[in-house]
Amino acid sequence: MDDNGKPKVLIIDDRHSSRESVSFALVRRYDCLLAEDAQKGLDFLDKDEVSVVILDIRMPGLSGIEALRLIKQKAPTVEVIMLTGYASLDTAKQSITHGAYGYLTKPFDLADLRSTVDKAYEKRTQAIRIVEERDNLKQTVNVMKREIGNLSRLADVGWLSAGIVHEMKSPLTAILGYAELMLRHLEARDSQAMLPSESARYLEIIKEETIRCAEMAKSLLEAARSGGSRPQPIPISRVLDNVETLIRPQVHINHVRFQIERPAEPLEILSDPDDILQVILNLLLNATHAMKSDKKELRIVAYAVEPTCDLPSCTAKEKEFLSRNQEVPFVALEVLDNGPGIAPDQIERIFDPFYTTNSVPDSAGLGLPICKEKAERNSGHIDVVKSSSEGTTFRILIPMPK
C-alpha cells in the first residue's frame, strides 16, 4: 500500500508506451511503479511493498521465466501477471508452472487487464490473511501449550499436597493432644497462683492454630473431593484479629512496624474464613520477604466500597470487575508495604503459577496465584494497585453479604 492507501502494482516492460498504457488503465485503483527492465523492477521490490507485478515476457537481458524466478525469490507472496505476444505464448503458459498468477496476450482489453490485476491482488490479500491467521493460531497454540504445562504441574502439586495434608492429620492430632495436656497441667498450677501464666496463653494460641491447621487440612481434602469454598458472613474485625495474632511472630522476628487501620463502622464480608485469612497472610508474608530496609513498614487498611463509589487508584482490571458487579457492595482490604516495589514488566506475571523472583526451592511462586484463585472463588478480586520504589499496595475486594 502507498501513503494514500492504494495497493502497489509494478509494471516491468521495456517499451515506454506499453508501460504508460498499462499504468493509465490501473492508476485509479493502484499506485503504479514503472521499470524498463527486470533489474530495476527487482530494485523496487527491495524498497516497496508491491502486491502485483506485471511482467513483459520479452525484454532484452533476463528471460521472462528467469525474471519471474528472481521476483518470486525476493517477494514470494507477490502475484505476477505475464504480458505476452503470440510469439511467446508457450513461455507464458509455462510461466504458470513457475508460479505466475496468469498471463495476458497483447493487445489486451483494458477491462481484462483490470479484472486480472484485481483478482491477483485479491488472491495475494487472502494469502497474506491466511499467513497472519496461521501466525496468530501458532501463537495461541503456544500460549495454550504453556498453560496446559502449568496446569499439569499444578495438578501434580495438587496431588502431592493432598497426600501431604492427609499425612498431616496424625502429627496435628498429636500436637493438639499434647498442647491440651500441658494446658491442663498449667491450669492446675495457675489455679493455685490465681493468675493464668504467659505460657498458658501461648499454649492456647498453639492449640487454636493447630485446630485451624486441622480445619484447613480437612477443608483442603474436602475441596479436593468437591472443589469448593464455603462463603459465609464474617465480621471483618474477626478476620483482622486472626491476621494480627498469626502475623505477630513474623513481624516481631523481622522487626517490622505493623499497623491495622480498621473501618470506622462494623463491616461483614461474605467469604470462606480460611480463604480470606490465607490470602491476607500470603500478601503479608510476601511483603515481609520483599522489605529489606531498616525501617520496614506494613499496613492493612480496610474500608467499605459502596456500589458506584469511586475506588482510589482503581486499576483497569478492577474497573472491569466492578462494572461486572455494579449492584454489589464490597469491602476493600489493602496490604501496603514500603519495600522495593515490583518492576513494571514483572507485575503482569506475578499472578502466574510458578513465577518467583525468590530462590527456588524456598519459594514456589504459588502464593499469588493461590490468592487470586481464592479471591475469585469467593466472588472477589485481587490486584496490585500501586508499586514503586516507595513500596507496593495490593488490594483485595471481597463482597459484603446482601
Ligand X SMILES: Nc1ncnc2c1ncn2[C@@H]1O[C@H](COP(=O)(O)OP(=O)(O)OP(=O)(O)O)[C@@H](O)[C@H]1O
Binding residues for ligand X, rule: CB under 6 A, are 286-287, 290, 337, 339, 342, 350, 355-358, 363-368, 392
Amino acid letter, residue 148: I
- Grid coordinates belonging to 97: 508452472
CA distances for 108 relative to 89, 95, 362, angstroms: 13, 18, 77
Nearest approach, Cβ of residue 166 and ligand X (Å): 21
Is 23 near Mg ion (CB under 5 A)?
A: no
Q: How far is the CB of 27 from ligand X (least distance, A)?
A: 59
Distance CA 297, CA 257 (A): 5
Residue found by looking up cell 496446559 in the block: 148
Q: Site residues for Mg ion, window 273-302 (CB under 5 A)?
A: 286
Would you give the DSSP letter of residue 3?
Answer: T
Asked if 369 is part of the footprint of Mg ion (rule: CB under 5 A), the reply reads no
Decide: helix, strand or coil at residue 191. Answer: helix
Angle between helical axes of 273-290 and 198-226 (0-180°, round to 10): 110
356 binds, among ligand X, Mg ion, none (CB under 5 to 8 A by kind): ligand X
Q: Are 7 and 118 in contact (CB under 8 A)?
A: no
In the complex, what is the shortest distance from the CB of residue 354 to ligand X, in angstroms, rounded to a whole number?
Answer: 8
Least CB distance to ligand X at residue 151 (A)? 16
Of 278 and 363, the one with the shorter C-beta distance to ligand X is: 363
- CB closer to Mg ion, 80 vs 290: 290
Residue 364 CB, nearest approach to Mg ion (Å): 8
What one-character DSSP code corresponds to residue 313? Answer: T
- 219 scored as a contact of Mg ion (CB under 5 A): no
Cβ proximity to Mg ion, 341 vs 367, nearer residue? 367
Q: How far is CA 330 from CA 152, 205, 375, in A?
A: 34, 31, 12
Residue 51 touches Mg ion, criterion: CB under 5 A: no
Cα–Cα distance measured from residue 47 to residue 56, given in angstroms and rounded to the nearest whole number: 21
Out of 339, 367, 391, 399, point to the residue binding Mg ion (CB under 5 A): 367
**What, of ligand X, Mg ion, none, does residue 290 touch, CB below 5 to 8 Å by kind?**
ligand X
| Shortest separation between residue 220's beta carbon and ligand X, angstroms | 16
Binding mask 28-47 for Mg ion (x = CB under 5 A): --------------------
Name the minimum Å distance from CB 376 to Mg ion.
Answer: 18
On whether the CB atoms of residues 13 and 24 are closer than 8 A, the answer is: no
CA nearest neighbour of 236 among 204, 277, 208: 277
Measured from the CB atom, the residue of 231 and 367 that comes closer to ligand X is 367
Q: How many CB atoms lie within 10 A of CB 367?
A: 21
Paired strand residues for 386:
393
250 binding partner (options Mg ion, ligand X, none; Cβ < 5 to 8 Å by kind) = none
Give the dihedral of Cα atoms 381, 383, 386, 389; nearest 10 deg: 150
- Selection from Mg ion, ligand X, none that 186 binds (CB < 5 to 8 A by kind) is none
Q: What is the DSSP letter of 151?
A: H
Give the one entry of Mg ion, ligand X, none that residue 350 binds, where binding means its C-beta sits below a cut-off of 5 to 8 angstroms depending on kind: ligand X
Closest-by-Cβ residue to ligand X is: 367
Task: Report the distance separating Cα 364 and Cα 286, nearest Å.
Answer: 12
Tell me whether residue 199 or residue 388 sits nearer to ligand X (CB atom).
388
CA 352 to chain centre: 8
* Nearer to ligand X among residue 80 and residue 366 (C-beta): 366
Residue 364 binding partner per list Mg ion, ligand X, none, with a CB distance cut-off of 5 to 8 Å that depends on partner kind: ligand X
Residue 229 or 392: the one with the smaller Cβ distance to ligand X is 392
Number of residues located near Mg ion, criterion CB under 5 A? 2
CA 305 to chain centre: 27
Give min distance, CB of 367 to Mg ion, in A.
3
Q: How far is the CB of 365 from ligand X (least distance, A)?
A: 4
d(CA 237, CA 188) in angstroms, rounded, equals 33
Q: Which does 115 bind (CB under 5 to 8 A by kind): ligand X, Mg ion, none?
A: none
Beta carbon of residue 333, minimum distance to ligand X (angstroms, whole number): 14
Query: How far apart, in whole angstroms, are the C-alpha atoms of residue 97 and residue 68?
Result: 11
Alpha helices in 227-272 (DSSP H): 236-253
Footprint of Mg ion (CB under 5 A): 286, 367
